[in-house]
Amino acid sequence: MHEALLTLGFGIVTAAILALSAVAFTLEYGVTNVANVSHGEILTVSAYAAYVVHQRTGSAVAAALAAALAGGLVALAMYLSVIGPFIRFGATPTVIFIATLGVSFIIQNFLVIGFGAENVAYTIDPGAPQNIGPFLLTPLDERIVLSAAAITLALYFVVSRTKFGKALRAVSQNRELARVTGINATRVAAATFFLAGLIAGYAGFVLAESVGTFNPYFGFSFFLITLTASVAGGLGRPFGTVAGAVMVGIILEFAGNYISASYNLAFAFAILAIVILVRPRGLFTNARRTVFE
Amino acid sequence: MSAYLVSILTEGSIFGIMALGLNVIWGWAGDFDLAYYGYVAIGAYMTLVLTIGPPVPPAEFILGLQLPYPVAVAGAVATSMAVGLVVGLIALRHLRGIYFSIVTLGAVYVMYVMAGQYVRLFDGYNGLSGLFDPMGDWFGFDYQTYQYFFLGLSLVCFVLVFLFMARISSSRFGMALRTLREDERAAAAFGRDIYRLKLKGYVLGAGIGGFAGALFAAYLSAFNPSAWSPVEVIVLYSAVLVGGRGNIRGVALGVLIMGVLVQESTRFLPQIPNHPQVVLALRGAIIGLVLVLFLRFRPQGLLPERRYIDREPAVEPAPQAT
């Protein structure tokens, strides 16, 4: 029982990081109806930005801010240079999916050119683990969980209570109708990408901090787990996605602890395949699936 | 012929076979399948476990037979097709578009993780090695002559696959696959069994991929998880896209262009000391860039697929006297 509780504690930390990344991904999906495969690279670029800033200044706070800002700018650049033009050109979601896969390939390779393919690490001390309730967590883990909760709450406020949030929801539900009512869909989508990039950038920083090392491919493998969480929660539904992330994070941690952590990716995809086949619109909706999903 | 040219041509033919297999799935049936490189890898792994003999401890892997190379190739193709059938049965049932792509991405990562982590399958990260000059001792070739022999073998295989694809391209089956790509509901309305057709196309593509993998294993004489990665399929997609999706001549042209472009574009770069990966990474970036630019500005490719036009005018009913 004690071991299970410890695992649950680690699962919550994984879930917190996953929730940030998945919420950002699902926001991007919501406003464009396109799965951005280069989402993982937002996390990677931010982790490197934080690495550079941390080496220069030695401050973890500055590194976190740099990561978020870099993430926002990268996501905005992805929207302005590739995703937006493809949408205006009338490309199908599958074509844009392929194009963003190409973008992810380009960014990974430029990172290899800039930083090399080897692992790099921050030297931020996570602090000694301590007992918090039944869990055994480091101060770093606490910071991750608390900040993820705070960011999710702030996002909830922005999406449900502000004018921008209203426009965001309108564009997500029906882009054409939103445009008819005078909403500048392109600008809303660009702003949403920037916002999602801020969150994903911060997620990239805490992920690198929590894992310890990273390389140009680390965002892509985390993207695969992000995808699972987002699809489980319902693509384009930010708060279903948080629930999906918590579930996937905890399942992965238990599977990793009781079976083997090396199969994590395989487990994630087993969950993903089952969810897509059984409930393609996500676990937390009651919509019927269609044949041409 | 220099050794360089021989190796480039051999690689090019094998790569060409892979692209032709992918063209069945993406070019004709229209499914963006990310698991494809997994079938190539299974073909390569199976060829090795069927030819290199029992494992020497501490290495461990399945089978460990010493079959003649052609038999092993047949076994490898059959295994790739079987795995393709399993993935296809799951992924093609209801899923289309990005949902299909996501599930196949999952499938290939499961294959990759299994090959790397489940040591008893293909010896994990050490991989398999020891297939030297298959069929060479039948004819008593030395190392030098063997390279030419294998080049010839690969070219013949490429031409055979190409001719086979040319037949399929204009067959009823090829046409039917294209109708699925263009309008699935219309095809269903005309009585096509969509699931079965897509599955057939998918398994055929996986088999061609496995065949290319079998040749690739003989060319490399070894295979392990660092020799492949699921995202390498992007290189194949860019070749098919650049040449002309759905047109097999276009696919061959695309392979030639991507091969030459990728090899030659970085050839005149100054050597950068201490950074051996820079040239490789630059190639990757160029491939990604070509993919995005072609998708945006010339999605039909350089040699577009010829549309089938019915040249025979519809017969109008003869005017009747009233």
pLDDT confidence of residue B226: 84
Taking CB atoms and an 8 Å limit, are A106 and B90 in contact across chains?
A: no
Answer yes or no: are the C-beta atoms of A10 and A138 closer than 8 Å. Answer: no
A233/B150 Cα distance (integer angstroms): 52
Whose tokens are 């916002």? That residue is A195
b/e map A56-84, b = 16+ CB within 10 Å = eeeebeebbbbbbbbbbbbbbbbbeebbb
Taking CB atoms and an 8 Å limit, are B109 and A97 in contact across chains?
A: no
How many C-beta atoms lie closer than 10 Å to residue B314's C-beta? 5
Q: For B111, which residue in chain A has the nearest alpha carbon?
A: A266
A140/A210 Cα distance (integer angstroms): 8
The CATH number of domain A2-121+141-278 is 1.10.3470: yes
Higher pLDDT, B175 or B265: B175
DSSP state of A214: E
Find the distance separating the first CA and the last CA of chain B, reported in whole Å: 79
Answer yes or no: are the C-beta atoms of A43 and A170 closer than 8 Å. Answer: no
Q: Is B89 on the interface with A (CB under 8 A)?
A: no
Nearest to A22 by CA among A213, A272, A278: A272
Taking CB atoms and an 8 Å limit, are A263 and B281 in contact across chains?
A: no
Q: Is A116 on the interface with B (CB under 8 A)?
A: yes
pLDDT confidence of residue A212: 83
Higher pLDDT, A110 or B320: A110
Q: Is A164 on the interface with B (CB under 8 A)?
A: no
In the numeric block, which tokens belong to residue A110?
């430029």
- The proportion of chain B whose per-residue pLDDT surpasses 90, expressed as a percent, equals 49
Q: Is A86 on the interface with B (CB under 8 A)?
A: yes
Q: Where are the domains of chain B?
A: 3-228, 231-304
Check whether B94 has a pLDDT greater than 70: yes
Whose tokens are 């406003």? That residue is A31
Answer yes or no: are the C-beta atoms of A140 and A127 closer than 8 Å. Answer: yes
pLDDT confidence of residue B270: 63
Nearest to B250 by CA among B293, B283, B299: B299
Q: What is the CA radius of gyration of chain A?
A: 19
A199/A187 Cα distance (integer angstroms): 19
Q: For A276, which residue in chain B has the nearest alpha carbon?
A: B99
pLDDT confidence of residue B202: 97
Taking CB atoms and an 8 Å limit, are B113 and A265 in contact across chains?
A: yes
Q: Is A103 on the interface with B (CB under 8 A)?
A: yes
Strand locations in chain B (E): 128-129, 222-223
pLDDT confidence of residue A64: 92
ipTM: 0.87
Q: State the 10-residue block means of pLDDT for chain A, 293 residues long.
A: 79 91 92 91 95 88 94 96 92 92 94 88 74 76 90 91 91 88 91 96 92 88 89 81 89 81 78 78 54 31
Q: For B283, which residue in chain A has the nearest alpha carbon?
A: A109
A89, A93, A280: residue with CB nearest B296: A89
Per-residue pLDDT band for B125 (boundaries 50, 70, 90) equals confident
- The residue of A32, A98, A275, A277 whose CB has the most chain B CBs within 10 angstroms, and thus the best one to mutate to test that interface, is A98
Question: Residue B122 forms beta bridges with which residues?
Answer: B61
Per-residue pLDDT band for B174 (boundaries 50, 70, 90) equals very high
Which of A261-265, B87-91, B172-176, B216-220 bottoms out in mean pLDDT, i.e. has the lowest? A261-265
Answer yes or no: are the C-beta atoms of B216 and B77 closer than 8 Å. Answer: no
Average pLDDT over residues B155-182: 94
Q: Is A118 on the interface with B (CB under 8 A)?
A: no
Higher pLDDT, A288 or B129: B129
Per-residue pLDDT band for B141 (boundaries 50, 70, 90) equals confident
Phi then psi for residue A61, to 5 deg, are -65, -45
B18/B24 Cα distance (integer angstroms): 10
Q: For B235, which residue in chain A has the nearest alpha carbon?
A: A102
Nearest to B208 by CA among B8, B24, B11: B24
pLDDT confidence of residue A106: 94
Check whether B275 has a pLDDT greater than 70: no
Whose tokens are 């410890």? That residue is A6
Q: Is B86 on the interface with A (CB under 8 A)?
A: no
Q: How many residues does chain A have?
A: 293
Contacts of B106 in chain A (CB under 8 A): 224, 268-270, 272-273
Contacts of B226 in chain A (CB under 8 A): none
Taking CB atoms and an 8 Å limit, are B296 and A35 in contact across chains?
A: no
Taking CB atoms and an 8 Å limit, are B102 and A272 in contact across chains?
A: yes
pLDDT confidence of residue B249: 94
A217/A203 Cα distance (integer angstroms): 15
Q: For B234, which residue in chain A has the nearest alpha carbon?
A: A102
A274/A110 Cα distance (integer angstroms): 35
pLDDT confidence of residue A290: 34
Q: Which residues, including other chains, have CB under 8 Å from residue B301's CB and lie 6 or more apart?
A: B240, B241, B242, B243, B244, B245, B247, B250, B254, B294
B41/B27 Cα distance (integer angstroms): 21
A91, A116, A260: residue with CB nearest B277: A116
Q: For A278, which residue in chain B has the nearest alpha carbon?
A: B94
pLDDT confidence of residue A267: 81
Q: Is A89 on the interface with B (CB under 8 A)?
A: yes
- pLDDT tens profile B205-261: 999 999 999 999 999 988 988 888 888 899 999 999 999 999 999 999 999 998 877
DSSP state of A183: -
B98/B266 Cα distance (integer angstroms): 33
- The residue of B93, B184, B240, B295 whose CB has the most chain A CBs within 10 angstroms, and thus the best one to mutate to test that interface, is B295
Contacts of A80 in chain B (CB under 8 A): none
Question: Residue A120 forms beta bridges with which residues?
Answer: A214
Per-residue pLDDT band for B138 (boundaries 50, 70, 90) equals confident
Q: What is the CA radius of gyration of chain B?
A: 21
pLDDT confidence of residue A266: 80
Q: Is B234 on the interface with A (CB under 8 A)?
A: yes
Contacts of A291 in chain B (CB under 8 A): 94
Size of interface A-B (CB pairs under 8 A): 134
Q: Of chain A residues 47-66, which have a CB less than 8 A from chain B?
A: none
Q: For B95, which residue in chain A has the nearest alpha carbon?
A: A293
pLDDT confidence of residue A120: 87
Check whether B265 has a pLDDT greater than 90: no
Average pLDDT over residues B193-209: 95
B39/B62 Cα distance (integer angstroms): 18
Answer yes or no: are the C-beta atoms of A284 and A240 closer than 8 Å. Answer: yes
Check whether B5 has a pLDDT greater than 80: yes
pLDDT confidence of residue A116: 85
A106, A263, A291: residue with CB nearest B113: A263
Check whether B276 has a pLDDT greater than 70: no
B105, B238, B277: residue with CB nearest A112: B277
B16/B136 Cα distance (integer angstroms): 23
Q: How close A102 gets to chain B, by Cα (Å)?
A: 4
Contacts of B299 in chain A (CB under 8 A): 95
